[in-house]
Structure 1
Amino acid sequence: MEVVGTCGKGTLSSGETSNKPSITSIYDDVVVGLEKDAEIIMMKLIRGTKERDVITIYGMPGLGKTTLAIKVYNNPYIVNYFDVKAWCAVSQAYNRRTLLVEIFKQATNNKIKIKEDDDVADMLRKVLIGNRYLIVLDDIWDVKAWEDLGICFPECECGSRVMVTTRIEEVTKHLQHHSDPYSLSFLTSEESWELLEKKVFRGESCPPDLLEAGLQVALHCKGLPLVVVLIAGIIAKTEREASLWLEVANDLSSLALGEQSMKVIQSSYDHLEDHLKPCLLYMGLFPEDHKIPVDHLLKLWMAEEFVLNAGTENMEEACRVCMSDLLNRSLIMVSGMRFYRDVQYCSLHDVVREFCLRKLTEDKYMQVAVPFNPYKHLHSTESRLCIYIHDDLVKQLDHSDYQLDKIPMLDFKETNSLEFIVHPKLNTWNNQYSNPLDLLVKLRFVRALHLMDVELPDSWATAIQSLTELRYLALCVKQFELKWISHLYNLQTLQVKSSEKLRLRAATLSEMTKLRHVKIDCFFMVWENNEQESSSTGMLEKMKSFGTCDIRLDNMNARFWWRFPNLEELGLSVKDVPEFPLFPIAEVHSHLYFLSLEFSLMELFNLVGWERYFVFPSNLRHLDLAGCFLTEEMVLNIARLKKLESLKLLVGFPFGRSESYCWDVTNVEFPALKYLGLFFVQIEEWKASEASFPVLEKLVISGCSDFKEIPPSFADIPTLRRIELTNCIDSLGVSAMNIRREIEENTGCDSLQVVIEK
């Protein structure tokens, strides 16, 4: 990657994003006290020996080792200096091949496919040799990890570097080459206060009456950034009174430094509302350093009924509020953002995850969830008794033939009311047992099954007949019929991956009145409808998201989507030319904010003219279109979406079969568009005025080999902050730099970042 421009300290503003409450800029990493450390590490990377060197950063958990490494790794100078860069999290439990594959993918920009029998280590050595490379191995626990991986990083005199973070000082001695290990220091009292103030007041200054108490709190954090951040999450939620803040400081003063992180997390945990506690502990069940998909996690929370308001139409909103609360308290971290500033992945700091696992162990894998059943017991004092199914409990369950009173860790007699919460990642089950269904058939109270990692045998439908409490079901199967699960009346989320053609009857779907999220990935899917069903089939008013990989719409009733009046997200890969508009009356879907449509390239030229009667729902915020012509009517249909914030166009052609593919939007305005992505769009010329994209923040262009120039009018867009170009011709990069230069000359600020990747 080559970064040819940088931005200042500005960030993209999130603004008002969608009908869906966004989890956006509520968690912005505030880096304090690492500037000097970053300079030292950078000097170690770019100066010194030409031989390969290992730069180690070590220190206790919570000091910011990974944060420092990220800060250096993403520095534009470092990005330019090294030919090849790759980052991987090693952690305590790791798989050598998996890590090497990840490094290889990053080193080759994922351009070379890896086969199952390939020698990845040898392939990686060949890619790295002769190049000046930077490899980051984050969170190494054992020398063996270096012995497994380090042999794949060739010795050469190119100035290559391997940067390692570890909490184990003994590891640094074995890794030391030319440079001395770098011990990360604690924050000074001034730096601790600076970080605390920024986290609590979000850019504002501390009121004078709280200053002394705030300084006392910062002082008692003993320079540990993680403690500062967690304490900030606590006091930000308390009343702004000096006496309350001093109580926090006094509590901190009694903690020994060795257990300080853990006890501060306990304090943060104690301050959580009851319904947030199981939400946090549940995340500890995911593997170490796992990037948890937020959409997936929220659906699991709903299935387990962890969240207040779980019985209302606002279940998703309630879950997003819980996620925001945990982010605000810095108990969970953002580990991936969508292009429109929404959190896509989250994760737990190692210390927080360790706390969660300790807490679950102390409770003998049992956790009281509140509310345990909001439909019946919202004001009840009875507890819902749950068991988290960890890998060792799985073995004991199987060994004891599910005689729960024979399992040593379960020292109680009343087992009939137990509700089982399945481990979110069933890796052990998949590897150890050929048929995980045998282990589940007796767990009558299971609410969530995620079995996408292994194709189940044909007996799957029979095996889950008794699991009537299921709210969440994700399956990978050869054959699937909706009638096989129609008895699961409580089902909220259905995800199916199938290698065969599926035929789904709308009438059967309508029986499952609590369905909220459906995603089907199959060879292709056909809806079997008839007029009698259309008149008798009811509305699925709870349906929020619907997506399918391949769908044929030719036999589908034009009024089908009217059954989903509250749909918010829709994604379709259409395998034929529809004979009717998808949204005959756009106002029916006033809640739809995200739409993704992909059309078959085989049918591309037959699509011309279809857009004439295509009307998008008016409240769309995010639109992805693939495989269609950008005719004047289609562009105007898009421009009519006054709330549209992001537009992604993939494999499109402007103005049909014209010899010269010119996309002219000079007289068209996209009033709310903040993100525009053009991927493999066959544009040769692009015309736009300064009024075409008045609030655009980010432009991404990839694989547009004939596209020569970004319109010069982009220099007049005051909100533009980033341009990303990938696999484009040089003249496009020149035009981007000209825009950056003009903005700097006109404003005196280098606010535009330009990133060019070959």
Structure 2
Amino acid sequence: MDVVETSGEPSTKPSSTSIYDDDEVVGFEKHAEIMMKKLTQGTKERDVISIYGMPGLGKTTLARKVYYNPSIVSHFDVKAWCAVSQAYNRRTLLAEIFKQATNADSEIKEDDDVADMLRKSLISRRYLIVLDDIWDVEAWEDLETCFPQGNYGSRVMATTRIEKVAKHLQHHSDPYYLSFLTFGETWELLEKKVFRGKSCPPDLLEAGLQVALHCKGLPLVVVLIAGIIAKTERKASSWLEVANDLSSLALGEQSMKVIQSSYDHLEDHLKPCLLYMGLFPEDHKIPVDHLLKLWMAEEFVLNAETENMEEASRNCLGDLLNRSLVMVSGMRIDHVVEYCSLNDVVREFCLRKLTEDKYMQLAVPYNPYQHLHSTESRLCIYIHDDLIKQLDHSDYQLDKIPMLHFKETKSLEFIAHPKLNTWNNQYSIPLDLVVKLRFVRALHLMDVALPNSWATAMQSLTQLRYVAFSVKHFELEWISHLHNLQTLQLRSNEKLHLRADTLWEMTKLRHVNIDCFSLVWEDNDEGSFECSTTMLENIKTFHTYHILLDNKNPRFWWRFSNLEDLSLHVKCVPEFPLFSIPKVHTSLHSLSLVLSFTEFWDSIGRWESYCVFPPNLRHLRLTGCFLTEQMILNIARLENLESLKLELGIPLGRSESYCWDVTDVEFPSLKYLTLLRMQTDEWKASEESFPVLEVLSIKTGFNFREIPPSFQDIPVLRLIELFDCNDRLVDSALQLKKEIEENTGSDSLQVVKLKD
């Protein structure tokens, strides 16, 4: 799936009460128009456009709205977005901007002069750099020299809470003060969020206006209050109670009080889910998949002991998004939320709450004078470089934290997040630290080089439910004692040999992701696959790379009867169907197969006939696949398929040229089609081929000459994205758009051209 990484993309759920879910945010239209003029007009010299105002006014929302506007996207050659925040690392920021500006995938080496690399990459180009949430002038002075001058119309857009910083950044344009909403705009936004576009009933109008009055024009307050009253009984008395609760508050504390009110109205199981997110760094884009697995490991979600644990976790996130306490910060092309984040004010509230509440105690940094009064307290240890440095001192050891001396230690639980900041190995190897966290449930050491002794050192961590390691050598027996393990994530540069019979012991395993040079399933007992009847019914996702398929594998996948998401990088040509009995995997809805060209040239017309997919797939990605007529028919038989991504596909049919002809094929439910580096000269399709297609994305389409003309007859087609494509293909898309407008009178199709 393709991901649009932002700091607050809209949620697609209709019940959302986020200020980030509307194309036109109430009260922001005029601000956005002014900002776009500042970016595209005026001086040709580099200019700095700064937006300032208090928290909760929507500075980042406005910047994001402008940044992703199609006219801005097409105006600039280079765009990059970077969150600066209070605590920042200059090299890290510059590296992030450089990667966005150049689309570089390679790692930046320690001796690379990132500042010089960035400056050279921007010379003679019209660029737009967004620096979100700058707190002091030193941050700007650290970065300014990397943004070259010139007469190309380049712009730097910055957001800040501090007027002095905004004025210091001023070049040609005056700082832009983001004002409060007017009372009319406040009421319009509140009404829109609570009633989802409908009018407020007359019996609630007076109470609703009172609520709007006490929101004091703060968009963040409006949407949080909307999230509260939308869930309460629709009675004037209930709404007036909310209004009265706001009326006596000082403006400076209003946002915090509103968040407290939203927090108080949360169901009990949602509260730890929200507070847990406060442990992530400021402006951190939290991968949703990662977050939900951590919630499950900590048993925050309902149905923790049932097969619906993943659905319960997604529902928890949906509830927090709907109440505007969590923001969407990245979304897949099919509108599935990929990343989320916390508004700075919400995160500040979470950190305060973590230190105030006795049931959850934040112990970073360690305070030797801190006394904890309840054995039911929960200790959250956020592991980072500063803590590691402190623990290296003889008088500052982890075992001096008072809670570790309590006799009833079974009530203690630990949360460790070493992944979220760089763990600098020059300070210490983490093993000595983590082995003391005997009740840790989630441990992410993917970015830490562990010594060979890691397996022995971690034998005492029996409560682990989430494990992510990067190791040179791994044997499944080393963690087979973790009978509660739910998530296993491994990375290795060596070939891994895993014994399947050991895997059968880990019956609570739900998610497996193994990234290695090569993966081979071993079994000393040749009859194990035939004799054992063990089913890993809890397995939901299984991802692995460079897997060697052999005759045991069809029986291996058969053990995962409830598998939902499977991703394989197949290294060799198999001699059998991957799914020998497709109907076994009726729960499988997402499948990714990456095939090797060098290995598969000799298999044309052979393995494709084996690719009979499980019937209920909704998402399919095929890389390096020969698109024979048989393969295309196999895909078209998937009646529920909503998204299809074809990468490095080679059409093979009756024609000598590489023509992808689907004229006589129908993809009945396909909404999202992505074609990446297709080895295709021509593409033919009929009016019936893609009847419900909404989004077409073509990336690196140098060989494509045109989009089939029949696409103008698709009534729901709303977006064509072209990434680094040739001019003829772009012209054909624009011609489609023109013909649709002439035939229907509607500007329903958007064509976006982007450069990689």
Q: When the two structures are superposed, what TM-score results if normalisation uses the length of structure 2? A: 0.92
Distance 1:276 1:135, change over 3 A: same
Residue 326 of structure 2 corresponds to 332
CA 1:23/1:598 → structure 2, altered by over 3 Å: closer, same or farther? Answer: farther
Equivalent in the alignment of 1:299 = 293
2:719 matched residue in structure 1:
722
Show CA shifts across 1:560-595 (max 9, x none).
111000000000000001111111111100000000
1-side partners of 2:586 and 2:567: how far apart?
16
Contact map agreement 2:297 2:442 (CA 8 A) in 1: yes
Indicate the residue corresponding to 2:688 in structure 1: 691
Q: Which amino acid aligns with 2:738?
A: R
**Inter-CA distance 599–545: structure 2 relative to 1 (3 Å threshold):** same
Aligned counterpart in structure 1 of residue 702 of structure 2, from 690, 702, 705: 705
Q: What letter is aligned with 2:21?
A: D
Query: In structure 2, what is the equivalent of residue 385 of structure 1?
Result: 377
Moved more, 554-563 or 639-648: 554-563
Q: Which runs of 5+ in 1 are unaligned?
A: 1-10, 16-21, 369-381
Contact 2:11 2:328 in 1 (8 A): no
Question: How far apart, in 2, do the equivalents of 1:395 and 1:97 lie?
Answer: 21
Question: What code does the residue aligned with 1:753 have?
Answer: Q
Matching residue of 1:616: 613
1:595 aligns with 2:576: no
Q: Partners of 1:389 and 1:572 in 2: how far apart?
A: 35
Kindly state the Cα deviation for residue 421 of structure 1 after the two structures are TM-superposed.
Answer: 1.3
Higher mean alpha-carbon deviation, 65-74 vs 591-600, is at: 65-74
Distance 1:729 1:123 in 2: 28
Is the contact between residue 426 and residue 451 of structure 1 (CA under 8 Å) also seen in structure 2? no
- Between the aligned partners of 1:746 and 1:405, the Cα distance in structure 2 is 74
Equivalent residue of 1:496, what SS? strand
Q: What is the rounded CA distance, in whole Å, between the counterparts of 2:403 and 2:462 in structure 1?
A: 27
Instruction: Name the residue aligned to 1:233.
Output: 227
> Structure 1, residues 296-324: CA drift from partner, whole Å, max 9, x if none?
10000000011111111111111111001
In the superposition, the TM-score normalised over structure 1's length comes to 0.92
Inter-partner Cα distance in structure 1 for 2:396 and 2:57: 44
Which residue does 1:62 correspond to in 2? Answer: 56
Hey, what's the Cα distance between the residues in 2 that align with 1:631 and 1:155? 53
Q: Does structure 2 retain, via aligned residues, the 8 Å contact 1:387–1:421?
A: yes
Question: Partner letter of residue 348 of structure 1?
Answer: L
**CA offsets 1:451-481 (integer angstroms, 9 cap, x no match):** 0111211111011101110000000000001
CA distance in structure 2 between the partners assigned to 1:703 and 1:159 by the alignment: 27
Once the two structures are TM-superposed, the CA of residue 399 in structure 1 deviates from its matched residue by 5.8
**Aligned match of 2:528:** 533
Change (3 A) 1:12 1:223: closer
Q: Which moved more, 1:159-168 or 1:224-233?
A: 159-168
Describe the shift of the 1:165–1:676 C-alpha distance in structure 2 as closer, same or farther (beyond 3 A): same
CA 1:566–1:627 in structure 2 vs 1: closer, same or farther (change >3 Å)? Answer: same
TM superposition shift of 1:295: 0.7
Quick check: 1:334–1:346 contact (8 Å CA) kept in 2? yes
Write out aligned runs for 1:356-375 (5 A).
356-363=350-357, 366=360
226-235 or 654-663, which moves further after superposition? Answer: 654-663
- Choose which of 4, 21, 25 in structure 2 pairs with 1:28: 21
How do 1:112-191 and structure 2 match up within 5 A?
114-191=108-185
2:263 is matched with 269
Letter in 1 for 2:583: E
SS for the counterpart of 2:620 is strand
8 Å CA contact 2:570–2:593 kept in 1: the answer is yes
For 1:441, the equivalent position in structure 2 comes to 435
The question of whether the paired residues in 2 share the 8 Å contact of 1:404 and 1:415 is answered with no
Question: How big is the shift at 1:51?
Answer: 2.4
Letter of the structure 2 residue corresponding to residue 388 of structure 1? C
Distance change in 2, residues 1:401/1:481 (3 Å)? farther
> Are residues 14 and 68 of structure 1, via their aligned partners in 2, closer, same or farther at CA, if it must alter by over 3 Å?
closer
**TM-fit CA distance, 1:92:** 1.0
Name the structure 1 match of 2:6. Answer: none
The 2-side partners of 1:622 and 1:242 are apart by 46
Give 2:4's aligned residue.
Answer: none
Alignment of 1:626 onto 2:623: yes
**Which residues of structure 2 form unaligned runs of 5+?**
1-9, 363-373
8 Å contact 1:285–1:424 — kept in the other structure? no
8 Å contact from structure 2 (residues 19, 25) kept in 1: no
Question: 1:486–1:36: structure 2 CA closer, same or farther, 3 Å change rule?
Answer: same
What is the alpha-carbon distance in structure 2 between the residues aligned to residue 25 and residue 181 of structure 1? 27
Counterpart of 2:544 in structure 1 is 548
Alignment match, 2:555:
559
**Is the counterpart of residue 95 in structure 1 residue 89 in structure 2?**
yes
**The residue matched to 1:56 in structure 2 has which SS?**
strand
Gap change, CA 1:24 and 1:108, over 3 Å in 2: farther
User: Shift of residue 158 of structure 1?
Assistant: 2.6
- Bigger relative contact order, structure 1 or 2, given CA contacts below 8 A and separation 6+? 1
1:583 is aligned to: 579
Does structure 1 residue 308 correspond to structure 2 residue 308? no
Q: Secondary structure at the match of 1:570?
A: strand
Aligned CA distance change for structure 1 residues 23 and 109 (closer, same or farther; 3 Å) = farther
State the distance in 1 between where 2:250 and 2:616 align.
Answer: 54
Give the direction of change, closer, same or farther, for the CA distance of 1:111–1:309 in structure 2 (3 Å limit): closer
Q: Do residues 194 (structure 1) and 174 (structure 2) align?
A: no
In structure 1, distance between residues paired with 2:704 and 2:151: 39
Q: Aligned partners of 1:237, 1:304: CA distance in 2, in Å? A: 27
What is the rounded CA distance, in whole Å, between the counterparts of 2:600 and 2:120 in structure 1?
Answer: 41
| SS at structure 2 position matched to 1:619 | coil
Pairwise CA distance, 1:558:
2.6
Shift of 1:54: 1.4
Within-5 A mapping of 1:409-488? 414-423=408-417, 425=419, 427=421, 429-431=423-425, 433-488=427-482
Partner SS, residue 151 of structure 1: helix
Q: 1:360 to 1:162 in 2, by over 3 A?
A: same
Q: Secondary structure at the match of 1:98?
A: helix
Matched-pair identity in %: 76
Aligned partners of 1:313 and 1:119: how far apart in 2? 50
CA contact (8 A) 2:675 2:699 kept: yes
Select which of 250, 253, 265 maps to 1:259. 253
Superposed, which structure 2 residues align to 1:485-500 within 5 Å? 485-500=479-494
Conserved? CA contact 1:141–1:166, under 8 Å: yes
Match of 1:286 among 280, 294, 298: 280
**DSSP 3-state at the match of 2:527:** helix
Question: For residue 725 of structure 2, what is the amino acid of its counterpart?
Answer: C
Distance in 2, Cα, partners of 1:542 & 1:561: 13
Deviates more, 1:155-164 or 1:457-466: 155-164
> Partner amino acid for 2:644?
L
Return the offset for 1:395. Answer: 6.6
Instruction: Say which SS state the counterpart of residue 311 (structure 2) adopts.
Output: helix
Aligned residue for 1:624, secondary structure, equals strand
d(CA) in 2 for partners of 1:118 and 1:24?
Answer: 45
1: CA distance, partners of 2:25 / 2:437: 47
